[in-house]
Structure 1
């Protein structure tokens, strides 16, 4: 390797993520019905094509009048009614009042709404006190104006944002196509939940968790049947696969049974990330399958087989890749929080510890073994400790990445 060759081994988390993101681009957009867009990511902004409300509207039930008529207590002639969807179309003249209801358009000439509690109706007239109360008028464009960007491209749609798009009259939205993510678990030791495991097997648990993560992040997961430790079987499993990203689970290290990279090398694998200076998850890698294979140029993310290692690296790398393909911000959202316990100095690898947020701050679980699924099931945050970080005392601020729970 020459001095100018990019370094592959021992990358920092940020370096590794940057190399992965450099290999992906936002996916094409598709138009879907507004009612089906919850959870999708906007590919094009939502622009207001008219003011909202499109007219001055009443904020209360009451009477629409001219402020000039209320210099003192006075009696006005009732000339009509304005209700939501049915406005009073004649201009209001001096000495006149219109019965008005919440959301109804203000008649031309009126500039004040007097709430009904401050008026007395007397047959075809209404008696009102002098003006001085608040003006209960919602101005035209009080919510948004024509030409205003209501929702930017890259935002994830939720019920409140969908309501805003509906208020702008959008029946359909342009959203990013969901990235197709294919998951392949490897290892002779794996048995599927519901099967009868052999005496030396464990149930495969990473795939179902990763598929659920991908779905929550906006991707479309597809799980392949798990393979054993066989180069030909692993290569055959992904040879014809069409995917925006292939994710392998297990076989990512350098032992005699870690055969995923050797198997994919037969399909023209080129690595951009070989290992990462992280705990857990050092064997995580990323590359591209060569053009000589069907669907050449497919990206591949290799995750370790231990569930904690796979899930930590999924949060740090896989989520960013999915968001980048959706056109959303791929950067993890870290925040500062006080420690609820003291922590010893960290070693040479950046550590992302499973942790729990408590009223007194964040607390790392005592046992961080990467095979423990129970710990991850209880964690609601990953606590970041930089490589070679000194000891940290209780109350000291540390960085965490919140996990989506519930």
Structure 2
């Protein structure tokens, strides 16, 4: 086991190396929302399948833009005109309707004057003449790749899959996650919290974080700081793909996660990462019944647990789910207020980003939950970084968090 401390990138790479994508299953498009494609998706149909009108107006043949024209029928969406048109003739056409045989373009309804069954040009003819036509295959052709492997299915991707002729999609099985928080000081009831105890927050917080992704997450705890209690919680997690512990992963007399994992048969890979908050991170694996369980031990401090959950738990769950890009995205922005010099560890300051600039919260104590609840960004400060003034470029990670939206 590497006792570290590892850099953030080293630790993330070693953790994600254990994340073998879960088995493939096929689910209907609606139930695939939020999940990741396990295979490239190829269109089963051409879209549009035929030439369509992009506007309400009148269909015309090529070159016949002077008029007047005789109206010989109508083509509406879902109710096409069954004949064909020639020079001097036109068909009233609505948006999304099939272009009649012989038609090459659309004159907008506001550019003509209609008298009975005849229309005459009163405005501009379209330039080019097919300006308002959606040609067959404009969007995509049958057999072309419309979504890559690892793409997350959101609302737009679901619509694209359906338009491509897919009723079901290949995705990875949802990860089974068990989250265990431990500590004798934790009280399960925040309304009945004795002196010397604190409300148990991490289990609910990390479960909620995990459920922002398509996973099957359950919670155990708070668990007492005894080998027997922790081992019992691990035994109850036997079917999990990922076990997340919170607290007890350091080296104090009551930090029993490591000995409990060793007793349970897990193999330690690394412990400690050179970041603040969140140094005591533990990663272990356990081989059982031909499959691998991953154990991710996060700090017990709630802010440290949240930050490391964003940097480690969510990327791991994305990787298990087959995401093409499991790591959080970075954004370059500017400081809206000065920040102090960094210490000897890489720091992630809680801050608020308004789309133009970011301001670090004045209270950065890792025991303070209120700043975390109001902030929506982590400011990445490398070890020994010098103090920075207003306007300095910095990198941030956006959080799905913050009372400001």
1:319 corresponds to 2:314: yes
Summarize the alignment of residues 367-378 of structure 1 with structure 2, pairs less than 5 Å apart.
Answer: 367-378=363-374
Aligned to 1:30: 25
1:7 CA drift (Å): 4.1
Residue number among 338, 342, 345 corresponding to 1:342 in the alignment: 338
SS state at 2:204 partner: helix
**Residues paired across the two proteins, number:** 397
1:105 corresponds to 2:101: no
Aligned to 1:75: 68
Deviations 1:262-302 (A, max 9, x none): 111101221111111111111111011355xx787311000
Aligned to 2:248: 251
Aligned to 1:144: 140
Residue 194 and residue 348 in structure 1: after superposition, are their counterparts in 2 closer, same or farther (change >3 A)?
A: closer
1:8 CA drift (Å): 3.3
Equivalent-residue separation in structure 1 for 2:88 and 2:388 (angstroms): 76
1:204 CA drift (Å): 0.3
* Unmatched runs of 5 consecutive residues or more in structure 2: none
Q: Determine if contact 1:290/1:297 at 8 Å carries over to the other structure.
A: yes
SS state at 1:207 partner: helix
Residue number among 51, 57, 65 corresponding to 1:56 in the alignment: 51
172-181 or 335-344: bigger deviation: 335-344
Residue number among 206, 214, 228 corresponding to 2:224 in the alignment: 228
Aligned to 1:330: 326
1:18 corresponds to 2:13: yes
Aligned to 2:34: 39
1:157 corresponds to 2:153: yes
Residue 296 and residue 95 in structure 1: after superposition, are their counterparts in 2 closer, same or farther (change >3 A)?
A: closer
* Unmatched runs of 5 consecutive residues or more in structure 1: 1-5
Q: TM-score, with normalisation over the residues of structure 2?
A: 0.91
Residue number among 279, 282, 292 corresponding to 1:282 in the alignment: 279
Equivalent-residue separation in structure 2 for 1:325 and 1:378 (angstroms): 30
SS state at 1:272 partner: strand
1:360 CA drift (Å): 7.0
What root-mean-square deviation, in Å, do the aligned CA atoms of Structure 1 and Structure 2 show? 2.1
Equivalent-residue separation in structure 2 for 1:389 and 1:353 (angstroms): 13
Q: Determine if contact 2:333/2:356 at 8 Å carries over to the other structure.
A: no
Summarize the alignment of residues 284-303 of structure 1 with structure 2, pairs less than 5 Å apart.
Answer: 284-291=281-288, 297-303=292-298
1:194 CA drift (Å): 5.2
Q: Determine if contact 2:378/2:398 at 8 Å carries over to the other structure.
A: yes
Aligned to 2:119: 126
Residue number among 67, 70, 81 corresponding to 1:88 in the alignment: 81
Q: TM-score, with normalisation over the residues of structure 1?
A: 0.91
Aligned to 2:235: 239
Aligned to 1:3: none
Equivalent-residue separation in structure 1 for 2:4 and 2:165 (angstroms): 52
1:106 CA drift (Å): 0.9
Residue number among 388, 391, 405 corresponding to 1:392 in the alignment: 388
